[in-house]
Copies of this chain bind each other. A is one copy, B any other.
Amino acid sequence: MDVTVAIDCMGGDHGAHVTVPAAISELQHDERCAVVLVGLQDRIHAELARCHVQPGPRLRVQHASEVVAMDEQPATALRNKKDSSIRVAAELLKSGEAQAVVSAGNTGALMAISRFVLKTLPGIDRPAIATVLPTLKGETYVLDLGANVDCTAEHLLQFAIMGSELVACVEHKARPSVGLLNIGEEAIKGTEVVKQAAELLRGSELNFYGNVEGDDIYKGITDVVVCDGFVGNVALKASEGLAQMLATYLREEFNRTWYSKLAGLVAMPVLNGFKRRVDHRRYNGASLLGLRGVVVKSHGSADAFAFRFAVQRAIEEARTGVLTHITDRMSHLQKIAAA
């Protein structure tokens, strides 16, 4: 076994019913990994029994007596629930028993607890949330998606470094291109912070492309897009909302008349191909980058198919040593700055 993943089995809208089958499925497909299922042990054992699976050398259950609610305040969860499944999973990561944590739970609590237990990497002020999105050319990684508001230019530079190392590792790209999200391509556009960040990025060793605009994300202009968490969160959620609206409209049009229903049957294989291609479940798993440990957040509404993608992402990050690469890059930069 090269990577052991601690899975918070209690988080998300469906809890163990989704997380346990996803973990089992990943174990079956990836023979090098192991999992620790963390949470209320009765619940987890019941789910294992339902799946006809026994614990073994690659599958262990770790009891955690408390569960953080999806709408609980992060600070309250951190202070009052010292035996929550998120907390216990993070402790496993810290002790070295696990090399990655995956949770579909409360994002704020996951971030607060991970930060408290694991601390940030040297040179990183704030962890950021990064996700991968489909584009016309392939995929683009965007960060931050909501962990930080009111970022400084230095924070944006750190996000760029982390995003760049992430893509270099998990996508095996030598020098990922980095775009700075702005409201125009010209250097004079945008806020003071964004203009300063562009200066810092131009002076960095990163493969900085320059400013990109909102539509450039889905055009796949750069491998990484860097932005303030407020902006990234709004852009991502607006995209989710638009995709849902378009899907609803398309469904309604194909249900409108007898002819359109028939046309829908004929077009079904094509529409299914389209659906597979833009299936957001394949992009499930946002990385909490900048912590001293791999932590991946699954969408709360993920099903087992989607949750497994988040588990795979966590394994891939641990396996390719993303955090070591970020640390090395930061210490290299600090040496340059000190010289």
Show the binding face of A for B, using Cβ within 8 Å. 134-136, 146, 149-150, 181, 183, 190-192, 194, 213-219, 227, 229-231, 233-246, 248-250, 253-254, 256, 259-260, 262-264, 266-267, 269-271, 273-274, 277-278
Cβ–Cβ contact A267 & B269, under 8 A = no
**Bound Cα distance from A219 to B245, whole angstroms:** 7
Q: Which B residues are CB-close (under 8 A) to A150?
A: 191-192
Asked whether, in the complex, the Cβ of B263 is within 8 Å of the Cβ of A230, the reply is: no
Identify the 9 closest CB pairs spanning chains A and B, nearest first. Answer: A214-B237, A215-B241, A218-B241, A214-B238, A183-B233, A267-B267, A235-B238, A218-B245, A214-B234
How far, in Å, is A257 (CB) from chain B's closest CB? 9
CB nearest neighbor in B for A227: B234
Chain B residue contacts of A236, Cβ below 8 A: 214
Which residues from chain B contact A244 at a C-beta distance below 8 Å? 136, 215, 218-219
Closest Cβ of chain B: how far from A149's Cβ, in Å? 5
Complex interface: chain B residues within 8 A of A191 (CB): 149-150, 230
Partner of A230, one of B146, B190, B216, B242: B190
- Cross-chain contact B183 with A230 (CB below 8 angstroms): yes
Q: Is the CB of B249 within 8 A of A260?
A: no
How far apart sit A244 and B242, CA to CA, in the bound complex (Å)? 12
How many copies of the shown chain assemble into the complex? 2
In contact, A270 and B260 (Cβ under 8 angstroms): yes
- Within the complex, the shortest CB–CB distance from A17 to chain B, in Å, comes to 25
Q: Which residue of B lies closest to A190 (CB)?
A: B149
Please indicate the chain B residues that have their CB under 8 angstroms from the CB of A134 in the complex. Answer: 245
A244 to B150, CA, bound (A): 30
Docked CA distance A150–B89 (Å): 40
Q: Could you pull out 6 A-B pairs where Cβ atoms are within 8 angstroms?
A: A150-B192, A183-B229, A214-B236, A219-B244, A249-B278, A259-B270
A277 to B253, CA, bound (A): 9
**Which B residues lie within 8 Å of A149 (CB)?**
183, 190-191
Identify A241's interface contact among B217, B262, B263, CB under 8 A. Answer: B217
CB distance from A293 to the nearest CB of B (A): 25
A214, B244: Cα distance in complex, Å: 12
Point out which of A190, A259, A263 has the most chain B C-beta atoms below 10 A from its C-beta: A263
